[in-house]
Amino acid sequence: MSLTAEAPALDMAGAEAFAENVGGVLNSGAVAVMLSIGHRLGLFDVLAALPPSTSAAIAERAELSERYVREWLAVMVMGGIVTYNPAAKTYDLPAEHAACLTREAPLGNLAVYAQAIALIGQMQERLLACFETGEGLAYGDYPCFHQFMAEDSGQTVVPQLFDVVLPLVEGIAERMEIGIDVLDAGCGRGLALIEMAKRFPNSRFTGYDLCADAIEFANETARKAGLANVRFEQRDLTGYGEKSRFDFITTFDAVHDQKDPQALIGGLRGALKPGGVYLMQDIGGSAKLENNHDFPMAGFLYAISCAHCTTVSLGQGGLGLGTMWGWETAKGMLEAAGFRSVERLVLPHDPMNVWFVARV
């Protein structure tokens, strides 16, 4: 009788099928990084504007090196994104594909999010050290983060701001018409606040953000737009404690990666005047891993969390709740902060996010 347990026989067919899946993951990951490069260089916009064209014509229109463009096009053809006519040696981006890959994309530009995958790759060496030490990183360690975020909210929040987002808060547009004080906390480059300031000249708008470069960009944009009713201030919201200053407070995807989200929500509650409203947009996944299998782009979101959101919170000495902290956690924190009512909403155009309307 043998005392050592025998290893179960390897299911070779299952192992080979799994290896094929991993091959698919590697292929998709490589194509995704090239989507990011195509987006940054404006190549999808060029392709969408041209009829089927040679690599030379595409490179000329994009003012780029033909050799690199041709190799990039090969990736796009293998990835099923661009079609290739070998007889004419021409490449084409079908309109149905351009519909989610260009700056004018009617379905929203998914190539924007490919930049996050490229960014994770860029951060690999720093992240390896974080895994070993348990320490975090600062926002400033991530190149182009605020540009990426502004492109993200520029298509998920700003275009829907007046028709979909603000109507979530009954009566708020009317109050902003008359004139109220509005804060956007963790405003980044401040695009949403600038649009509100343009639309409601009788109201006063304030944006706070930790990062000087984002605030500089926001102030410059407001100056160029000739707006006198909006101001942006670099401010660390850790321990935020202004009292009864604002009628309406928004956060767009800016709570989960804070040092102490509960303390921030409590601070925002205290900064609202009587009758004030807080509108929070954040990532809408569940706090339970097992509930997120069908959540849109859950693997992508956990990857962003591991590489950025958890990391920057830990970098501030914070809790590191992560991108997928869960709508349950957010709701519980809003209730614990003492809001009179907390309403949870999901918008059809934006299934990745959850919206809360919390009233004082």
Ligand X SMILES: C[S@@+](CC[C@H](N)C(=O)[O-])C[C@H]1O[C@@H](n2cnc3c(N)ncnc32)[C@H](O)[C@@H]1O
Q: Check the CA dihedral 131-135-136-141 and report its sign.
A: negative
For residues 291 and 273, what is the distance between their CA atoms, to the nearest angstrom?
A: 37
The phi, psi pair for 67, rounded to 5°, reads -60, -45
Q: Rank residues 102 and 258 by Cβ distance to ligand X and give the closer one.
A: 258
Q: Binding string, 151-170, against ligand X, x = CB under 6 A? A: --x-----------------
Number of residues that bind ligand X (CB under 6 A): 22
Q: What span, in angstroms and rounded, lies between the C-alpha atoms of 325 and 333? A: 11
**Token pair listed for 67:** 């050799």
Binding ligand X (rule: CB under 6 A), the pick from 48, 118, 136, 188 is 188
Which range of residues in 50-58, 120-128, 170-178, 230-238 is near ligand X by CB under 6 A?
A: 230-238
Nearer to ligand X, 102 or 155 (CB): 155
Nearer Cβ to ligand X (139/355): 139
**Closest separation between CB of residue 204 and ligand X, Å?**
19
Sheet with 272-283, edge to edge strand ranges: 230-234, 204-209, 181-185, 246-252, 272-283, 353-359, 341-345
- Contact pick of 38, 136, 186, 276 for ligand X (by CB under 6 A): 186
Rounded to whole angstroms, the Cα distance separating 330 from 328 reads 5
* Residue 210 near ligand X by CB under 6 A: yes
Closest contact distance (angstroms) between CB of 271 and ligand X is 13
Residue 205 sits at φ, ψ, to 5 deg, of -120, 135
On the 0-12 / 13-18 / 19+ scale of CB atoms within 10 A, 63 is exposed
By the rule CB under 6 A, 109 interacts with ligand X: no
Q: Which residue has the tokens 């860029």?
A: 122
> Among 70, 117, 56, which residue's Cα sits nearest to residue 297?
117
Supply the minimum distance, in Å, between the C-beta of residue 263 and ligand X: 10
214 binds ligand X (CB under 6 A): yes
What's the closest the beta carbon of residue 251 comes to ligand X, in angstroms? 7
Q: How far is the CB of 103 from ligand X (least distance, A)?
A: 17
252: Cα separation from own chain's centroid: 10
Per-residue CA distances from 101 to 52, 81, 271, 340 (Å) = 17, 10, 40, 42
Beta strands 204-209 and 181-185, pairing class? parallel
Instruction: Please give the Cα distance from 349 to 163 (Å, whole number).
Output: 12
Q: With respect to ligand X, which residue has the nearer C-beta, 53 or 313?
A: 313
Q: Outline where DSSP puts E strands in 255-328.
A: 272-283
Stretch that binds ligand X, among 39-47, 66-74, 183-191, 267-275 (CB under 6 A): 183-191
Query: Please, which residue, 47 or 192, has the CB nearer to ligand X?
Result: 192
Q: Which stretch binds ligand X (CB under 6 A): 24-32, 35-43, 181-189, 351-359?
A: 181-189
Asked if 209 touches ligand X (CB under 6 A), the answer is: yes
From candidates 204, 231, 259, 331, binder to ligand X by CB under 6 A: 259
**Does residue 139 belong to the site contacting ligand X (CB under 6 A)?**
yes
Closest to ligand X by CB, 249 or 254: 254
List 137, 149, 319, 321, residue binding ligand X (CB under 6 A):
149
The reply to whether 238 sits near ligand X by the rule CB under 6 A is yes
Q: Does residue 283 contact residue 354 with C-beta atoms inside 8 Å?
A: yes
Chain centre to alpha carbon of residue 84: 32
Residues that bind ligand X (CB under 6 A): 139, 149-150, 153, 186-188, 208-211, 214, 236-238, 252-254, 257-259, 316
